[in-house]
Amino acid sequence: MVALDRVFFELAGFFSYTFFAQFPITRDFPWANLLLFAAGGICLVVGLFRAFGNARAYRGKIFGPILSTLAILIFGLFSYVLFYELRQVPPSTGAPRVGQKAPEFTLSDQDGRDVSLRDLGSKSKAVALIFYRGFW
């Protein structure tokens, strides 16, 4: 049972990233996914102690290490992509820097009317613009 639990937690941590990436609090740093991986790691350690601690009662000495290796590989792949590959994405060369004046643009609002940056700036003293990296 514990062997299946650890693989479940590892797979949940791996595949739930696309769900958690929709929310700003879990998009910038995937703490929810890492908690799922931690739960899988705890189940992994408990399962291995059960498998090799009481050899007569537990017959999963082959199945346990195979699932443990699979869980470790899944976590390794997730960590590699998240903490290494995504850091290799080149910075946007066309994005304005902090303190730099934003280029003039016109976009449609939620009602389909055209709104320009100049119009927004003339109605109020300040306009907050947020630029997101567009690779995800």
Tens digit of each residue's pLDDT (9 = 90 or more) over 70-126: 888 988 998 898 888 878 877 777 767 777 877 888 888 889 989 888 888 777 777
CA 90 from chain centre, in angstroms, equals: 19
Reference 75, options 4, 14, 2; nearest CA is 14
pTM of the model: 0.57
Tell me, what's the pLDDT at 83?
84
Q: Is residue 33 part of a domain?
A: yes
**DSSP structural state of residue 91:** P
Pairing of strands 106-108, 114-116: antiparallel
| Residue 84 included in any domain | yes
Predicted confidence (pLDDT) per residue in 112-134, tens digit = 989 888 888 777 777 887 766 65
Dump pLDDT digits (tens) for 13-40.
Answer: 888 888 888 888 887 788 888 898 888 8
Residue 36 resides in a domain: yes
Residue-number span of the structural domain to which 23 is assigned: 2-88
Assign 29 to helix, strand or coil.
Answer: coil
Domain count, the chain: 1
Residues in the chain: 136
User: Does residue 78 lie within any of the structural domains?
Assistant: yes
Q: Does 8 map to a domain?
A: yes
